[in-house]
Amino acid sequence: MAFLVSNTMTSPALMVLLCCFLLIANGAHQSEACYGTNQKLQSLQVSAPANQPYLTSYHFRPPQNWINDPNGPMHYKGVYHLFYQYNPLGPLFGDKMIWAHSVSYDLINWIHLSHALCPSGPYDINSCWSGSVTILPGDKPFILYTGIDASGQQVQNLAMPENLSDPLLKDWVKFSGNPVMTPPNGVKDDMFRDPTTAWQAPDGRWRVVVGGQIDNEGMAFVYWSWDFIHWTKLDHPLYSVQETGMWECPDFFPVSINGTIGVDTSVLNPGVKHVLKTSLFSDKHDYYVLGTYDPQMDIFSPDTDFHGNSNDLRYDYGKFYASKTFFDSAKNRRVLWAWANESDSTQDDIDKGWSGVQTVPRAIWLDKSGKQLVQWPVEEIETLRGKQVSIHDKELGSGSIVEVSGITASQVDVEIDFELPELEEAELFDPAWVDPQQLCNDKNASIQGRFGPFGLLILATEDLTEKTAIFFRIFKGQNKYVVLMCSDHSRSSLKEDLDKTTYGAFVDIDPHHGKVSLRSLVDHSIVESFAARGKTCITTRVYPKVAVENEAHLFAFNNGTQSVVISSLNAWNMNQARLSEEESFKL
């Protein structure tokens, strides 16, 4: 295979194209495991039972078995691609993880293709772990991924499509010179993984970040390359923090300081800030910091220090991990994916035959304040909306509960705006309350306050013996009002052996000068909630015993002593997304 090279291309781009040619022509090879044993792997899959009350209807998932990290999402020649960590052998994490591959036109309805990367060579024989896609000049996507080699060492490998004219990119080949990066001196063999999407700096060289740890100092290693094959480690990390442990699945990208428009990963100008995200292995949360990237020094300087605790910014304050963004050139937005792990037992997962879903893809941008990011479900999710019910200008007195009837409450999209009266009577906020999750535990939905708890009761039984409460409390601080958002699972299910952690976060809004808004996407066993139009997000996994399918109910409630008003509530039945096999996909 040969490529036509434009005379107008820059020298680095020309070098990249020549290397692409060399990669295909001089020894790149297809993964035999993906093809030679694929039928065997399929035959070992666990069949999911027919009765599946917790199986999602519009969240991305494979038909069965285990999934975790989203890998290499991209938009390529009119098609969205999502790769993801998958165990084809069963519903638990395995020691032969692969890159599964699905495609879509709209980020909502998906076609499952044949697996993209499977263990095959000495550099990834024990698993193909997470990584990213970078689209090089000339629309040439490259995968950088972590392989677990024959000795158990984590190394970084390279792959590219076998046929660039195929918009589905069904077949991938691995570079015969893999690995292209190995653990540097001082880094343990199992603490060097998850390369990011690369960016091209003003000097023409490519940079990529790899997550790691030295002693207990978490860090983002930086490597550079002219040709995307030969990589050199910088002497210093992009950024590091003591006592934060292993940094998994790092992400590094620019966001515009004006507006919601996304920008390509290589954009560098005065109109952007940079985001550095890390998934902390120690507590399984995704943290991020905003700051400035210096391309000459290859240093990231955060606006505020990162500590890896409850005072730091997170994408999501619930069951949300190993996230990955990509620049969607089709709609000029940055899109965020993440893994929502289960909260039931291992035996439950075995019985179900599956484990894990991806969150709904979210558009992500910089808030007008410049101090945090904002997330909102991609607009395409609204194409699944069906029957709508509404409530307007409804006062909720103390102890009020109002059912939102006429919808399928186990599969619903609900948006609600609350108006509050004068807040002078709000409870006083104690400055010692620095951990919002603990505060939500101490002041759960059954504990009456003044302004709050008020919000939604989701996946509830008619008699409220089961309910997941998503709610707010308003406190009066020294200089401002404090808004607390909680997701209370303490009574979410009558089943035992479940993780019923209650999650919480503060919301950076002034309730005295506007409405308090909440949106919740409910899909059988997952609830994604967005406060203040996406300033604060909490994702949860719930497994009611009784409140399933048509037995689930949705309520608005107020358990505070002070009245609040529902200025607007709109709820929509959500139709099922199409998740099908390759044979049904027509270009």
pLDDT tens-digit series, residues 15-38: 544 455 444 444 555 554 454 444
Q: According to the model, what pLDDT value does residue 222 have?
A: 99
DSSP state at residue 45:
S
Q: Cα–Cα distance between 30 and 357 in angstroms, integer?
A: 28
Position 42 pLDDT exceeds 90: no
69 is an active site residue:
yes
Q: According to the model, what pLDDT value does residue 30 have?
A: 56
Domains and CATH numbers, the chain: 11-45+60-376 (2.115.10.20), 383-574 (2.60.120.560)
* 160 confidence band (pLDDT: 50, 70, 90): very high
Q: According to the model, what pLDDT value does residue 584 have?
A: 43
Position 45 pLDDT exceeds 50: no
Q: According to the model, what pLDDT value does residue 411 have?
A: 98
Position 9 pLDDT exceeds 90: no
Place of tokens 């995704």: 286
The percentage of residues in the chain with a pLDDT greater than 90, rounded to a whole number, is 87
Position 303 pLDDT exceeds 60: yes
Which has more pLDDT, 2 or 370?
Answer: 370
> 447, 444, 455: which is closest to 396 by C-alpha?
455
Position 56 pLDDT exceeds 70: yes
For 6-12, the CB contacts below 8 A with 24+ separation are 9/137, 10/137, 10/204, 11/204, 12/200, 12/204, 12/205, 12/226
Q: Average the pLDDT over 246-269 and give the result.
A: 98
Place of tokens 């000049």: 137
Q: Which helix (DSSP H) or strand (DSSP E) does residue 87 occupy?
A: strand 79-87
Q: According to the model, what pLDDT value does residue 36 have?
A: 43
Q: Exposed, middle or buried: residue 2 (CB in 10 Å: 0-12, 13-18, 19+)?
A: exposed
Catalytic residue chosen out of the listed positions 69, 124, 251, 316 = 69
Q: What pLDDT, in 10s, does the model give residues 60-92?
A: 999 999 999 999 999 999 999 999 999 999 999
Q: What pLDDT, in 10s, does the model give residues 472-505?
A: 999 999 989 999 999 999 999 999 999 999 999 9
Position 461 pLDDT exceeds 60: yes
Contacts of 142 (CB under 8 A, 6+ apart): 133, 134, 135, 136, 158, 159, 160, 228
Q: Cα–Cα distance between 237 and 512 in angstroms, integer?
A: 44
* Residue 560 contacts residue 452 (beta carbons within 8 Å): yes
* Residue 198 contacts residue 209 (beta carbons within 8 Å): no
Q: According to the model, what pLDDT value does residue 50 have?
A: 62
Mean pLDDT of the chain: 92
Q: Which two tokens stand for residue 300?
A: 């990231």
* Residue 209 contacts residue 221 (beta carbons within 8 Å): yes
Place of tokens 């998503």: 470
Tally Cβ neighbours within 10 Å of residue 358: 25
Strand runs labelled E in 524-563:
526-531, 536-541, 553-558
The one-letter code for the residue type at 200 is: Q
Position 12 pLDDT exceeds 60: no
Q: What pLDDT, in 10s, does the model give residues 267-289?
A: 999 999 999 999 999 999 999 99
For residue 396, report the phi and psi dihedrals to the nearest 5 degrees: -110, 105
Q: According to the model, what pLDDT value does residue 28 have?
A: 56
Q: According to the model, what pLDDT value does residue 514 have?
A: 80
Contacts of 99 (CB under 8 A, 6+ apart): 71, 72, 83, 84, 85, 86, 115, 116, 117, 118, 128, 143, 145
Q: Average the pLDDT over 404-414 and give the result.
A: 98
* 421 confidence band (pLDDT: 50, 70, 90): confident
* Residue 40 contacts residue 184 (beta carbons within 8 Å): no
Q: Average the pLDDT over 199-210 and give the result.
A: 98
For residue 51, report the phi and psi dihedrals to the nearest 5 degrees: -85, 105
Q: Cα–Cα distance between 445 and 466 in angstroms, integer?
A: 13
What is the DSSP pairing of strand 333-340 with strand 357-358?
antiparallel
Which has more pLDDT, 467 or 37?
Answer: 467
Which has more pLDDT, 40 or 422?
Answer: 422
